[in-house]
């Protein structure tokens, strides 16, 4: 049994990771502030699924609260940390930037300090495919330059990777960042396209299709994300020299991986699969590209496959069917 801290425990990925850890016999301390960025009832429903499970404890805390996090680390003494708490969303960062600084920068610093001072053996944390920003060469590889983010959200995730490397280098703290690619599935986030489209189609409302549908996303099913997170957390990086970017090497116990399906799907293809699963055709309103969005994402997962022996592979049609089944059951539609 390993004692884990999972932040963002009421979130989409965090709740699924918690279930997987508990099912395999680990101990989990879950932390979440359960904010109202999206429907709190969904977050509470995720938490309710975990109540009463053996070796599970939930603490309603904000990772940006330095004092509370210091006390939590000192009292709970987690052996490993999976840090998934963050202010998510590209578009929201255009209107509420301070939320991203508080949660994603200050909150991450509190996590790093807690790990540093309390003997944590491995910090695994969420980064994002959005760090690739203005990159146009596909597929995206972890060795690519990511110095040109096009949203504040992406900039904070890139900053997390830089902060983690610094702590790995200075304090020999093993850290691994995971660049997630368009995660979807049951219990997903209501601000994501698949959720928004499903809700609108079932309610008979039109859907907004950005960039006139000329977009591709490397949609990655939640079970594949969780499998990758767990495998990476179990593989603690060492101080052997590894390339960070071309012509730069590091001896820090630090890694970054993409976790994506390695199979970009056209947005209109995703919509067609959703229409088939719902048995309804969507009314589509074409819109221009939104600020902060990119035309395509596509993950190179060679490093992930080489190091932990795993590659996401759930087909989009299968994943959407499972999401729609959950949505109909949860919302009784």
Which of the residues are catalytic? 153
Q: What tokens appear for 308 in the block?
A: 């932990």
206, 41, 13, 5: CA torsion to nearest 10: 160
Instruction: Give yes or no for a contact between 234 and 307, defined as CB atoms under 8 angstroms apart.
Output: no
Task: Name which of 309, 220, 181, 303 is nearest 254 in CA terms.
Answer: 303
Dihedral pair phi/psi, residue 91, rounded to 5° = -70, -35
> What span, in angstroms and rounded, lies between the C-alpha atoms of 317 and 280?
15
Cis peptide bond upstream of 139, omega within 30: yes
Q: What tokens appear for 278 in the block?
A: 């719902």
Q: What tokens appear for 176 in the block?
A: 């691994």
> What span, in angstroms and rounded, lies between the C-alpha atoms of 239 and 112?
18
> Distance of CA 243 to CAs 45, 138, 236, Å?
42, 20, 17
For tokens 């425990």, name the residue. 9
Task: Name which of 68, 67, 47, 74 is nearest 58 in CA terms.
Answer: 47
Q: Report helix angle 12-23 to 40-48, nearest 10.
A: 0
DSSP 296: B
Dihedral pair phi/psi, residue 266, rounded to 5° = -60, 140
Q: What tokens appear for 276 in the block?
A: 């088939």
Which H or E run contains 56? strand 56-60
- What 3-state class would DSSP assign to 213? helix
Q: What tokens appear for 154 in the block?
A: 């992406």
Beta bridge partners of 177: 125, 256
């Amino acid at each position: 049994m390993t004692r884990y801290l999972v932040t963002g425990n009421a979130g989409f990925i965090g709740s699924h990771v918690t279930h997987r850890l508990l099912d395999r016999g680990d101990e989990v301390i879950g932390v979440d502030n359960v904010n109202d960025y999206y429907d709190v009832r969904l977050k509470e429903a995720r938490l309710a699924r975990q109540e009463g499970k053996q070796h599970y404890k939930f603490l309603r805390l904000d990772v940006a609260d330095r004092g509370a996090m210091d006390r939590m680390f000192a009292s709970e003494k987690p052996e490993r940390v999976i840090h998934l708490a963050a202010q998510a969303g590209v578009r929201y960062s255009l209107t509420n930037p301070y939320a991203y600084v508080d949660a994603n920068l200050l909150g991450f610093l509190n996590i790093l300090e807690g790990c540093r001072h309390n003997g944590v053996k491995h910090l695994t944390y969420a980064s994002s495919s959005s760090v690739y920003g203005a990159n146009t060469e596909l597929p995206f590889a972890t060795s690519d330059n990511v110095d040109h983010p096009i949203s504040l959200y992406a900039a904070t995730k890139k900053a997390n990777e830089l902060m983690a490397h610094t702590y790995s280098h200075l304090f020999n703290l093993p850290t691994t960042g995971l660049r997630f690619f368009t995660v979807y599935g049951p219990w997903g986030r209501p601000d994501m396209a698949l959720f928004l489209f499903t809700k609108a189609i079932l309610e008979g409302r039109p859907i907004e299709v950005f960039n006139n549908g000329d977009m591709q996303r490397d949609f990655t099913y939640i079970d594949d994300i969780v499998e990758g997170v767990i495998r990476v957390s179990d593989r603690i990086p060492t101080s052997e020299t590894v390339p960070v970017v071309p012509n730069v090497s590091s001896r820090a116990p630090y890694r970054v991986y993409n976790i994506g399906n390695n199979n970009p799907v056209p947005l209109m293809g995703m919509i067609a699969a959703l229409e088939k699963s719902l048995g309804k055709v969507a009314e589509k309103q074409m819109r221009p590209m939104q600020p902060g969005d990119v035309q395509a994402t596509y993950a190179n997962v060679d490093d992930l496959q080489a190091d932990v022996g795993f590659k996401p592979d759930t087909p989009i049609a299968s994943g959407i069917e499972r999401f729609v089944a959950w949505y109909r059951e949860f919302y009784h539609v």
